[in-house]
Every structure is written in structure tokens, then in C-alpha cells.
Structure 1
Amino acid sequence: MLSLLLPLTHAVTYTRWLHLLVGAIVPIVCAMVFPGLSSPSPGDWALIAALPVPVVLAVAMVPSVRRAEGLQARLMLFPGPHARVKGDEQPGVSAVPSASWSDRARTGVWLVLRVETGLAVALVTERLMALALSLTGAAAGDPGVADPWVRASGGSWVYVLLIPVLLLVLVTTAAGAGAVMAQVARRLLGPSVRERLSELEERTEQLLERNRIARELHDSLGHALTLAVVQAAAARTAADPQFTDRALEAIEERSRAALDDLERVLFALRETRQPASTRPDLGEAGRLLDSARSSGAQVDAEVTGTLEHLPGPVSREAYRILQEALTNVLRHAGPVHVGLRIVVEQARLRLEVRNPLAAAAPLAGTGSGSGSGSGLRGIRERATLLGGEARAEQDGNHWLLHVDLPLR
């Protein structure tokens, strides 16, 4: 018995009921024109149900009708925050215009079902309400208040007890019809195959963007923190006021750059309309080399070709790859001699970073030859996304990173 009363406490029961009654407006308006609503016969009701079908099918051919029906279904057929229903799944109803004839056909079937079901629910609502009024009148001694299917006579108080039963049957019927229409809406107004593919592509793009942002944070903040650690340790060991001042200045500069990168990434995550700062490219590689040199590393750079005319995505990703490579050198080998070669060819960009292995390199995971660190994994991912490749291997007493990127 309690389960029968639960629909009475759900707001969505009444919004679905209203949604069904709204669908009955079209056939009732048509019936006012022909054949009329004055004592209609069963044949008249069959005609009233059939007359709106051509009209609603023609309306369904308008693309924006699908969006309107989807928005109405989302709002009225599915529980929102106002409904005390737990665990209800997402509506799964599309709210975009029809993009194909298949969408128009499904919209037409939906409109026909909505009109016919709405008319049936409206008739049941009217008859049960009329019967409830008749029973109320019969209990008060005036049974002719309404004209339902069954006339009540007499003035017995027993009729009063039947009124809640009728109302319960009415609400339960409306709740059941609304639940059925909600399931039908998911089928007929749900996203098409094209919409599902578009949504899947959008989610994939979002995941790729989040992965890119994660790599950006790892490279930028990891580089800044590594330089700060190396320079702070070197300044403490040197016990030279001038060297300490230079180290602190370099730490401040890299920390500010890392904060700028963090602010840009946070803007992207919040989807703010405020434009973010420009991402650095390979033309600004001098900053990375100066930072590494200020940490005590000896960097010999050899550049062949022009960096200014590199494609934007390649130049920006190459900057991050070089940043991560220098960070790995400082983190695992310390301030050692680093050889850097940048070669710009007609269709390729080649980066090569070489440094001697430190005694503690195997403990850091770089001297083992596996190249399985998170930094190297990020370098490989960046190169793969651009259609290139990255190799990291031990070459005698040196560690060699080679990156090959296509320019087209």
C-alpha cells in the first residue's frame, strides 16, 4: 500500500501528468472544429484521435521541433533537484535540432504518441474526476452534480470513502503513463548515432587536453623546482655571497615563470573567457639554457637552421621536450656538461641532448637504460602526438636523448 502512495510525494509525477495533458490540446482543438465536443460518440472519439496525426507529422519535419520537444521532456518527464527521487539516471534526451531524416521520423513518432497518449490520459482524468464529483454529490444528497460513467444515487457516507480510492487510481494511472512516456522519450528523443559520435569525440578532446595540461604542469613546475633545489644546494655549498645572489635571482626568475604557467593552466581548467598567456616556443630556448647554466651545468648548444619559422605546435612541444630533458639532467646527473644539438631540416626537427652519467644515476632510474621515468614518458607522448619519435638510451658513459619531429 505504501508503494502505491509514493507517487503522490514525487513532484515528477505531476510534471509528467501535466506534460501528457498538454499533448491533448491539439486533438481537443481539432475536435472543436470538427466533429465537435457535444456528446461525441465512440466513432467521433476515434476521428478526434486520428485528425491531428497529419498535422503533427508535418510539424515534426521542422528541425527545431526536436529541440523544443527534447527540452520539454528534460524539464517535465525527468526528476530534477525539486523531485525527491534518489538514484535516477541521466535523462539521455537530446536537445538539438533534427540533423537527418531519421531524426525527423523519430520526432514524428514521438509527437503522435504524445498526442494519442495525452488524449487518453485526459479522457481518463476527466471521467475519474467526474465520478469523484458525482460521489461527493451523492454523499451530500445531490448525485446529479456530474455525468460520469456510473451514476451514484442516495446519500450514503460510504461514497466519501470511495473518493480517495478514485484519486489514488487516477494518480497511479498518470504516474504509470508518465513513466512509460519517459522511457519512450529516451528511445525516440535520445541522441542519434551522429550525436553520440560527436559527444565521444568531444570527450576524447577533453581528455587529450587534460593530459596535455598535466604534462605542461609536470614539465614547467618540475623544471622550476629542480632548478631551485640544485641552485639552493650549490649556493649553500659554495658559501659565496655573489654566487648565492645569482642563485636566488635565478630561483626567483624561474619561480615567476612557473607561476605564470600555473595561472595559464588554471584559466584553461576553469574555462574562463579571459585570454591566457602565450605558451613559450623553441625560439625562447635561451631561457632554458641560461637557467641550466645558472645551476652550474655547462651547456654547449649547436643550432642548425632557423627556429623562427617552425610550425607553432612543433615549436611549442619541442620547447617542453627540451625543458624536460634539461630537468632530467639536473635531477639525475647534477650540474654536469650537457651537449645540445638542434637541427632544423626541410621536413624534420631533430633534438639531441647528451650528458655524462653520474654515479647515482642508476638510483634515479636514468642510468639503467630502461628510460621508463615519467619525464621520459611525457617526452615520448609529446613526440608521438606530433607523429615523431623519441629515444633515450645509454651510449657508453653518456646518456643520450634523441627526438625526431616532422614539420608537416
Structure 2
Amino acid sequence: MRSTKVLVALPALFVLLLAVNAPPYVPLQDYNEWVYQGFVAEQLLRGHLTSQFVFATFPVPNSAAQALLCLLNFVVSPLLAARVVASLYVIAAITLAWRIAEKTSPAQQIGYFFVLLVCVYFNTPFWNGYINYQIGILLLSAWLLLDPKTRAKPLWVLVFTLGAFFTHAAIWAAILLTMTIDALRRRVFTPYLPALVSLGLFAWYVARKPASTVPEPLQQAGLLHAAGYKLYTVAKLGPYHDFLYADGASSPIEAVGHYAGCAVNFAVAAGLLCLLCLALWRALARPGVRAQVADVTLAVAVLLALFVAMPAVMADVVNPGERMLYPAVLFALVSWSESRIVKWLAYSAPVLALCALGLVANGARLTSDAALAGAGPGASQHELFASRPDEFASVLLMSEGRLPLRAIGFETSFLFNRTQR
């Protein structure tokens, strides 16, 4: 029976590996900017490009993927390094989703598996190329698979807090949150003292990082607009992703598919909100069971509060509240082992598969032309759930010497443009 269940995961593995390997480059929106930074870092370590770029002299949370890509660039091309990292992510995500579903709900394992794929591992941040954040999600998943006693061992505390710090600050905060809740509830603090190392690194980072430059777009927006923005963010947990291409072409079938996909995403959002609310209500609203509430359930409440409270931009991060939402959903799924809602949410997985296969089928429309990428008329056709798979594709031509190098687009990692320092 178990071997039969495992066969369910194989089509998902095949489709998603195909999506990141069949197109001319890895079609994840911001991912190729990080690939470019991995190439630049490798060149700096070889003693090149020192007049254009410089390494940070302080620890930076958003840096694990670039470091891995940099190391791979010593032995393979940037394009191959990009495919290797993306493929390893897909394999690890499928494996962890299966293990978490098996541990959480053996009776609904397949349903939980597909919901985890849709909402946690191959979500909007994945297709937007937020690879460090997604690697952090993998780390958080591995943390949850450990039993509580193992999590409280000082060595694992040190390993996971340092690992999370160098993937993404939001994931690091989520792991620290679960540790803090456990320490306060059990009144045992000594095992968690190694977490102070990562806290010291974070303090160093905050003291040295450049000032924020991205303005807050919703600063003057009303409450209704801000609430709509948050609800739309929840809907981005759904399986539909609208991939826009530089040629701007859109058929009537694609237009119908877009609106159908939007409807599916909003339906999934409604189901997830019901799931989250019911999980918190059952755990926190009944005094008789409040003392037995799992640590991860309390973490869900805190993370959702942060999601609601955070502005649209903070510390040059767009929609930081979204980064709190995905760990909250992961924690909620782990803490609630049986739910009819999960069964219905799992039926949305074929939409994700169709989006991934559509990306493969449209591989010929992906451009690496610097004059077209990011500037095509398709950019404004659809705004909901949109992603630009060719956004930074031209950097691959730069790494091959076919285009001149440009400045780094995101100075939020361990590299900076020397001319602006």
C-alpha cells in the first residue's frame, strides 16, 4: 500500500523537474538575478570584477542560494548551476512534502501532500524566484519533522538557527518563535542558548546594512485598500500562476483560463482561511484545551498577527507579511491532522500541474533578449497572480560574455555595486 502511495508523488516530481529544466533557462522570475550574483561572486573570488562589485563585510540573511551557486560556478556554467540548484530544490520539496504528509495524517496523506505542494513548496514565492526563502521553507520543514526532544538539543538549535539565518530572516524568525514558545511554556531556557549566536549575527546585520530605499506604497491607502491587499496575498496561496511573456500574445483561451484560475485561487483562499480560523478557534477559544495547545498552533496565531500588521514594504522587502503567511500555513497543516477542507483543497493541484506544463509548452516564447525581457506588452495584460519568467534572463548572456555586465539589481545579499558604496 505504501509503495502504491509513493507512485502518486512521481508525476508531480516529473512535471516540476520538467518545468525548471525544459525551458531555455530556469523560468523563475527573480531567480536568474541570484544566478547572476552567484556568477559575480565566483568571479570576485577569482580576483576579477573587483572594480565593479564588492562583498559585504557583515553577515547577510539572504545569501545561502548565492553562496551555493557561487561554489557550483567553479566547476560548471552558471546556467547548469542554476538548473542543479532548482532541481535539487524540487526533489527536496517533494520528499519533505511527502514525509510531512505521512507524519501528519496517514489517513489523508495524499491530500495533505498535494496541498503542501500547492500552498507551501511550489507557491507564488517559488515561481517569483525567491529561492533563499524557499530553501528556508525546506529547512523549516526539516525542523518540524524532528521530534520535540531533538529540536531542544543545543547542537540542533545552533545548526537550524544559523542555517535559517543565512536563508531568510522570516524563516529564521519563525524557528526562533517556536523555540521561544517552547522555552517559555516549559520554563527551560538553557538548551536554546545557542540561538544567541544567530541573534548576534542579526544585530550585526541590522547595524551595518544600508538604509532602506524602497518607499511604502500603501502608506496613504485607506483601510479597505489595505485589507484588499492582504486578502489578495492570501489568494496567492492558490495553484494558479499567470506567466507573462515579452511578446505579449494572449489567446481567448488563455484569457478564459486566466479568469478561471483566478476563481480557483480565491476559492482556495476561502478554504485556507476557514482552515486557519477553525484550527485557531478549536485550539485557543476553548479554555479546557488551551493548556494542551501545541507550540506550532500558538506560532500560527503569532505569525498571522504579524502578517496582518506588517506594511506593504519593510526594510526593502516587498510584502514582508507574505513571508509570515507561508510558515503559518505550514504550521497549521502540521498541527491539524484531519480535515475535510484539506481534501477539497487538494483538488486544486491539477491547476498547478497545468500551469507548470503550460510554462514548458511556451518555452519558445521565453526570451533572453535584454531589449525585450521585462519590457514586453504582456507585462500589463494581467495583473492578478502574474509572474515574469524571463524577468532577468539577459544575465545569462552576460555570464557568457555575450552582453556587457550590468549593476546588481538587488543589493539585499552579500554583494554590492562598488560604484554606489
Q: What is the TM-score with the length of structure 1 in the denominator?
A: 0.21
Relative to total residues, which structure has the larger strand share, 1 or 2?
1
Bigger Cα Rg: 1
